[in-house]
Amino acid sequence: MKKLPTFKRLPLSGLCLALFTSLSAPVFASSTSNQDVAKYADQVEEDVIKWRRHFHQNPELSNREFNTAKTIAKYLKDLGLEVQTGVAKTGVVAILDSGKPGPVVALRADMDALPVVETSGLPFASTVRSEYNGADVGVMHACGHDTHMAMLMGAAQILVNMKDQLKGKVKFIFQPAEEGAPEGEVGGAEVMVKEGVLSNPEVDVIFGIHISSKVEVGTVRYREGGIMAAVDPFKIVVKGKQAHGAYPWHSVDPIVTSAQIIMGLQTIVSRNVELIDSAAVVTVGKIEGGNRSNIIPNEVEMVGTIRSLNPVTREMIHQAVHNKATSIAQSMNATAEVTLPLDYSYPITYNEPSLMREMLPSLQASAGKENVVPTNAVTGAEDFSFFQEKVPGLYLFVGGRSKDMTSEQAPSHHTPNFVIDESGMKTGVKLLSDLTIDYMNKH
């Protein structure tokens, strides 16, 4: 049984996580060069894969990452770091102090899994079941957060053993509930920020990565400015006057009014957003009203989502949704009540352009210049954006698709057959380490 630096391989059952045994990091020769970081990443790769498989086989849902947090906290303490637990309920934060003046660099990984029944066929596939919003569900790391934790643990091991070469402090942030807290709860990056995760010591810059099943291993995708969209759910309640379906002239029909509102909302993007500069989405995903074919109801409720990639567009869309809904309703003698945002709201995941340009050589040193590729923005959202609202930060995509698979063949994130080529994680470990060291040297 290998004891150092891996954890003891014990039988796994349910959500019982096998804690790591003696986890002191291997001794590396100190060096700040990108070449040596690559060498250290080679040495820790086997452990990163084992850690990832452990988390994958033992997933936990948002705000329920109790055993995951215990495992991470024990590992970080064994590295000799100052560790805080229970941040934003289950989050773990650790500080590496070089003892020398310099910036505070934060590195973040998300921890939670999804209510998905796994069908990947992997030998370490999850068979875990849990409760989600009152329902019995399967649980799976169907978005790659298991790889994010493992990559950050690998980077922590490298940076601890290069402590003499660091200037400043590193704050390792393991964040719960990125996928959203259960109904009636709060969680995630927003709560971590409110609880002061970017203070004591104050963070100067933050870096985060996301593995991608559609991007080839060894590749890093980046973008200046907005890389992932703001998300703003909304609700519109249209109130009219109930009547018999055979006599619609006695009604103020909220269903017809709602239909016109939905069509009107679609003109916001097509006619008001400067699409050559910024993409956006306005989607109505649910509509409810009435209970019989021959009754025009009193009211209709619809809910939807707004996605935007710059603050000006975001503000304009918010105002336009309100104006169109209320004006169309008024034209039909109905009323419309708009709730925006509805229950949660994520800012734009925004890579500060000057920081992106400054750190681009670090990306190229980690992955090779030919493997660092600009990417288009995506309209998916990430609560990493709450950190970037407070301090400059970069969010990057790391390839996780096998080279013998096309992008079309690769399973999408949040699906039961989601898979990642584990060789891609070494790029992420190098990237987190190089960004930290290079930023410290530049500042």
- Do 215 and 284 sit in the same domain of this protein? no
Domain membership of residue 21 (yes or no) is no
65 catalytic, yes or no?
Answer: no
| pLDDT for the residue 28 | 42
Domain membership of residue 406 (yes or no) is yes
Q: How far is CA 100 from CA 36, 105, 157, 162, in A?
A: 21, 13, 19, 13
Interval 53-65: pLDDT, tens: 999 999 999 999 9
- Give the model's confidence band at 9: pLDDT under 50 very low, under 70 low, under 90 confident, else very high: very low
More confident site: 78 or 15 = 78
Model confidence at 330: pLDDT above 50: yes
- Give the model's confidence band at 343: pLDDT under 50 very low, under 70 low, under 90 confident, else very high: confident
Annotated active-site residue in 60, 222, 422, 439: 422
Domain membership of residue 277 (yes or no) is yes
Model confidence at 205: pLDDT above 70: yes
The mean per-residue pLDDT over the stretch 15-28 comes to: 40
Q: What is the rounded CA–CA span in Å between residue 280 and residue 204?
A: 30
**Phi and psi at residue 236, to the nearest 5°:** -125, 125
* Total number of residues shown for the chain: 443
Last residue of a domain, one of 288, 306, 339: 339
Domain membership of residue 20 (yes or no) is no
* CATH number reported for the structural domain that contains residue 254 in this entry: 3.30.70.360
- Do 53 and 183 sit in the same domain of this protein? yes
- Do 199 and 74 sit in the same domain of this protein? yes
- Do 219 and 265 sit in the same domain of this protein? no
| pLDDT for the residue 19 | 39
- Do 294 and 414 sit in the same domain of this protein? no
Domain membership of residue 100 (yes or no) is yes
Percent share of the chain, pLDDT over 90: 89
Q: Tell me which of 79-83, 101-105, 272-276 is least confident.
A: 272-276
Model confidence at 339: pLDDT above 80: yes
Model confidence at 11: pLDDT above 70: no
Half-sphere exposure of residue 350: CA atoms within 13 angstroms, side-chain side:
18
Last residue of a domain, one of 321, 339, 357: 339
The mean per-residue pLDDT over the stretch 405-421 comes to: 96
| pLDDT for the residue 13 | 37
Instruction: Report which residue type is found at 159.
Output: L
Query: Cα–Cα–Cα angle for 150, 154, 160, nearest 5°?
Result: 140
- Do 147 and 211 sit in the same domain of this protein? yes
- Do 270 and 203 sit in the same domain of this protein? no
Domain membership of residue 22 (yes or no) is no
| pLDDT for the residue 69 | 98
In the chain, the number of structural domains is 2
- Do 145 and 59 sit in the same domain of this protein? yes
The mean per-residue pLDDT over the stretch 210-220 comes to: 97
The mean per-residue pLDDT over the stretch 407-425 comes to: 96
The mean per-residue pLDDT over the stretch 279-294 comes to: 96
| pLDDT for the residue 60 | 98
Model confidence at 27: pLDDT above 50: no
| pLDDT for the residue 145 | 98
Interval 224-265: pLDDT, tens: 999 999 999 999 999 999 999 999 999 999 999 999 999 999
| pLDDT for the residue 278 | 83
- Give the model's confidence band at 2: pLDDT under 50 very low, under 70 low, under 90 confident, else very high: very low
- Give the model's confidence band at 155: pLDDT under 50 very low, under 70 low, under 90 confident, else very high: very high
Q: Which residues of 218-238 are buried (b: 16+ CB within 10 A; e: fewer)?
A: bbbbbbbebbbbbbbbbbbbb
* CATH number reported for the structural domain that contains residue 165 in this entry: 3.40.630.10
The mean per-residue pLDDT over the stretch 91-114 comes to: 98
346 catalytic, yes or no?
Answer: yes
With 0-12 CB in 10 A as exposed, 13-18 as middle and 19+ as buried, what is 354? exposed
Model confidence at 403: pLDDT above 50: yes
Cβ neighbours of residue 335 under 8 Å, at least 6 residues apart? Answer: 238, 239, 326, 329
- To the nearest whole number, what is the mean pLDDT of the chain? 92
- Do 404 and 431 sit in the same domain of this protein? yes
Model confidence at 23: pLDDT above 90: no
Domain membership of residue 16 (yes or no) is no
More confident site: 165 or 69 = 69
Last residue of a domain, one of 339, 372, 403: 339
- Give the model's confidence band at 331: pLDDT under 50 very low, under 70 low, under 90 confident, else very high: very high
| pLDDT for the residue 17 | 39
The mean per-residue pLDDT over the stretch 324-344 comes to: 96
Q: What is the rounded CA–CA span in Å between residue 34 and residue 30?
A: 12
| pLDDT for the residue 32 | 52
Range of the domain at 157: 34-227+348-442
Domain membership of residue 8 (yes or no) is no
- Do 221 and 239 sit in the same domain of this protein? no
- Do 301 and 169 sit in the same domain of this protein? no
Model confidence at 334: pLDDT above 90: yes
Annotated active-site residue in 40, 75, 222, 346: 346
**Total-model pTM:** 0.88
- Do 386 and 294 sit in the same domain of this protein? no
